[in-house]
Structure 1
Amino acid sequence: MLTRKSLLAGASALAALSLVAPAFAQEPIKIGEINSYKVFAAFLDPYKKGMELAVDQVNAAGGVLGRKIEVVSRDDNGNPADAVRAAEELLSREKVAFLIGTFPSNVGLAVADFAKQKKTLFIAAEPLTDKIVWDQANPYTFRLRTSTYMQTAMLIPDAVKLHKKRWAIVYPNYEYGQSATAAFKKLLKEKQPDVEFVAEQATPLGKIDAGAVVQALADAKPDAIFSSLFGPDLAKFVRAGSERGLFKGVEVFDLLGGEPEYLDPLKDEAPDGWYVTGYPWNDIKTPEHKKFLDAYQAKFKDYPRLGSVVGYSTVMSAVAAIKKAGSLDQEKLVAAMAGLAVDTPFGPITYRPIDHQSTMGTFVGQLGVKDGKGYMKTWRFVDGKDALPSDDDVKKMRPAN
């Protein structure tokens, strides 16, 4: 039988509960995320796990603005039109606060343009094209990942030291590969004016005819090769080139070849001595990386890939922006992103006000093979801020608006 005393006790208990659990008192803050999960699963499966770890940590710590966060994801099939439709649906139906994600550069550019039209914040996680923060930049788009220009600039010192004159180039024929190739040719020519580019092979993404490509490069008799191939295309190129002796006496630089997503599947076929950017996850001893590594392995019983770091850091960037803005108002969020400082597994980064590019760095070194596996046998970490053009050059490239 209910008494006045029991009713008062129940009311007191409910009041106390509301005081200790403010993070769950409101609907979660939804963040809309778009990516090419089916097309680029090797990178994006770990990326999704990285996001999940970040969401768990943020919510366990009380959320943000007194609310949980929730990432609502959509697959864009690697298609710009599908990505824009997904972005529209996330904003109109799911009522997300803003947008994050994307992988291919052409898809990232499409979503960036959509964000500009809708005046909605977009944190581009992975698209590497330089256009997204320079030539086709807009006030609402910010980019986390180290760009094609930045990663190429990190490889240039090693290329210059070798002083190879005859270079061949191979790349996937879409925005990322085109952007990487343009940056490499420009930066190397500036440092080594006598360089010659004797062959160039643009291959359809995911459909490389490795035998024909290798033969064309071999016919040009290069001293060195610059590649921006990745994934299955890279694996096919490595195998065909090794079988036909393309790499004997030839120095090879591959832009993403040290990332576990693309290196691990090669196993003992990993090409010894190649110069790459990558992620030597098991050799990094910094406190911030150890904290991330321990948490990731405890949750997933697996080692992180570079995608894991990108997914985690993207969510942490979004949360930091909301905290700094103190609001979900788009203009306040955009203002908060300019100069935003974020702690990541690679150390602190800043989103530069001048071009909305983060200063996330990466690891540069050479590949080796040990115990039947490829690994980065030598490496150094390069801070992203040290691989960017001058402010004057950025101002010339980035639209005034």
Structure 2
Amino acid sequence: MKKLFAALAVATALTATPGLAQDDTVRIALLHGLSGSPLEAYSKQTHTGFELGLEYATDGTMEVKGRKIELIVKDTQFKPDVARALLAEAYGDDDALIAVGDTSSGVALSMLPVAEEYEKILLVEPAVADGLTGPDSNRYVFKTSRNSSMDMQAQALALNPDENLYVATLAQDYAFGRDGVSAFKAALDGTGAHLVAEEYVPQQTTDFTATIERLTAALKDQPGRKVIMIYVAGIDAMTPLAGAGLDRYDIELSTGGNILPALVAYKQVPGMEGAIYYYYEAPDNPVNDWLVEQHQERFGSPPDFFTAGGMASAMAIVTALEKAEEWDTETLVATMEGMTFDTPKGQMTFRPEDHQALQSMYHFKIKVEDGVDWAVPELVREIKAEEMDIPVGRNNQE
């Protein structure tokens, strides 16, 4: 199997960093789609956050225990075959100690067997699907990004569901969307709320006309509070839905947070409530203060949604390297299981059973402010990790 992955790497590794590091460095591979998808903006934010995280966690030295950190960056092009080949190359030819990626849940899922084959750690960031720490995962996979269950349990809490709530969902037809809706249904279970329709669209859909008609038909005659819950990435579903005149049927919209450019469309729905993974004004801790200050100073803008995730993954790695007595995979796995580490969102902890990082989410209400280009997801309250019953994916302790 390793020979197969290596052969694929030779054919597809178009963006590999040339040359190998010296023995006094520790190599970390960052594999993300940097071309070929609207999601590449997420990858670039993650990359920026990762470098800032390394800087913060090492006090600017970019060293751990006297060894320089070498970052190897590879473009997966959002293609599973390319991602598998580049990960094999990172573990093999580049001798990376740890790899981080991918942006797409579907691509990240395809990478899991490579980590198991090479017996090296893959830290998933920022892909979201629950399946990344599920039955098809393995003991070498850790995940700093939130998962679909966190998104949806927080979203359900923000909607305050009861028997008066009727919901229809709109999601993309791949791992991210389907895992999200599955988690949302689980979050509503036992609340009395009614899920009346599920709509799935291709990943890069632009025409929502027929979809909106079906969602409207499913909800308009329901007797209680009526909500369309949107769970998409990389496309604007808010604008067509907000412009569809749904208010004549008393149909509301709700969705999770997003990157700042996507939040511009949220100006059309002031007062909308939902849950968000990160907005730079929500967390109150020294790490986030530093991130906001430095990002504003260096880039002229606040840090965005995935910048925080990239920083969290880097801080997790540095924490593990500092704590581990040795840097072999088995020692690192043992060190990281149950490990608590600082991030811009506050502390996260890798759950020993499936290596998912447990973390807070934020209930927001959309506010439109003069002089702000995007809609502001004003903080209603922090939803602590212990408030959410996140299903265990794969039990790595068995």
User: Is TM (by shorter chain) over 0.5?
Assistant: yes
- Read off the aligned partner of 2:117 and give its amino acid letter: Q
The more displaced of 367-376 and 328-337 is 367-376
Tell me the distance in 2 between the aligned counterparts of 1:259 and 1:384: 22
SS in structure 1 of the partner of residue 29 of structure 2: strand
Tell me the distance in 2 between the aligned counterparts of 1:398 and 1:35: 27
Tell me the distance in 1 between the aligned counterparts of 2:397 and 2:206: 39
Name the counterpart of 2:387: 386
Name the counterpart of 1:35: 32
Name the counterpart of 1:336: 335
Q: Identity of counterpart residues, as a percentage?
A: 22
Tell me the distance in 1 between the aligned counterparts of 2:108 and 2:385: 20
- Measure how far apart 1:399 and its partner are: 6.7
Q: What is the aligned length?
A: 367
SS in structure 2 of the partner of residue 60 of structure 1: coil
Tell me the distance in 2 between the aligned counterparts of 1:181 and 1:288: 32
Name the counterpart of 2:45: 46
Matched, 1:356 2:355: yes
Tell me the distance in 1 between the aligned counterparts of 2:357 and 2:189: 26
- Residues 103, 127 of structure 2: 8 Å contact kept: yes
Check 1:283–1:140 CA distance in 2 against 1; reply closer, same or farther (3 A cut): closer
- Residues 273, 363 of structure 2: 8 Å contact kept: no
- Residues 47, 309 of structure 1: 8 Å contact kept: yes
- Residues 139, 396 of structure 2: 8 Å contact kept: no
Q: What whole-Å deviation, never above 9, does each CA across 1:183-242 have from its counterpart, x for those lacking one?
A: 1112213221xx44332211000124222221221122352112211332xx2x222222
Name the counterpart of 1:151: 151
Tell me the distance in 2 between the aligned counterparts of 1:283 and 1:122: 29
SS in structure 1 of the partner of residue 200 of structure 2: strand
Tell me the distance in 2 between the aligned counterparts of 1:26 and 1:119: 20
Tell me the distance in 2 between the aligned counterparts of 1:48 and 1:385: 29
- Residues 352, 397 of structure 2: 8 Å contact kept: no
Name the counterpart of 1:90: 90
Tell me the distance in 2 between the aligned counterparts of 1:247 and 1:52: 44
- Measure how far apart 1:326 and its partner are: 3.1
Tell me the distance in 1 between the aligned counterparts of 2:392 and 2:80: 26
- Measure how far apart 1:122 and its partner are: 0.9
- Residues 29, 68 of structure 1: 8 Å contact kept: yes
Tell me the distance in 2 between the aligned counterparts of 1:83 and 1:203: 24
SS in structure 1 of the partner of residue 47 of structure 2: helix
**Structure 2 unaligned runs (5+)?**
1-20, 221-225
- Residues 47, 312 of structure 1: 8 Å contact kept: yes
- Read off the aligned partner of 1:82 and give its amino acid letter: V
Name the counterpart of 2:244: 244
**Structure 1 unaligned runs (5+)?**
1-23
Q: What whole-Å deviation, never above 9, does each CA across 1:263-301 have from its counterpart, x for those lacking one?
A: 14x274355424232433135443332122112223333
- Residues 228, 251 of structure 2: 8 Å contact kept: yes
Tell me the distance in 2 between the aligned counterparts of 1:187 and 1:284: 24
Q: What whole-Å deviation, never above 9, does each CA across 1:68-108 have from its counterpart, x for those lacking one?
A: 11221111121222110110111222221121121111112
RMSD, aligned CA: 2.4
- Measure how far apart 1:352 and its partner are: 1.4
SS in structure 2 of the partner of residue 127 of structure 1: coil
- Read off the aligned partner of 2:385 and give its amino acid letter: G
- Measure how far apart 1:260 and its partner are: 2.6
- Residues 214, 246 of structure 1: 8 Å contact kept: no
Q: What whole-Å deviation, never above 9, does each CA across 1:8-28 have from its counterpart, x for those lacking one?
A: xxxxxxxxxxxxxxxx99532
Tell me the distance in 2 between the aligned counterparts of 1:132 and 1:298: 35
Matched, 1:228 2:231: yes
- Residues 158, 273 of structure 2: 8 Å contact kept: no
Check 1:135–1:253 CA distance in 2 against 1; reply closer, same or farther (3 A cut): farther
Name the counterpart of 2:7: none
Name the counterpart of 1:172: 172
Q: What whole-Å deviation, never above 9, does each CA across 1:173-192 have from its counterpart, x for those lacking one?
A: 00010001011112213221
Return the structure number with greater helix share. 1
- Residues 148, 183 of structure 2: 8 Å contact kept: yes
TM-score (norm 1): 0.84
- Measure how far apart 1:383 and its partner are: 2.4
- Measure how far apart 1:355 and its partner are: 1.8
Greater Rg by CA: 1
Name the counterpart of 2:110: 110
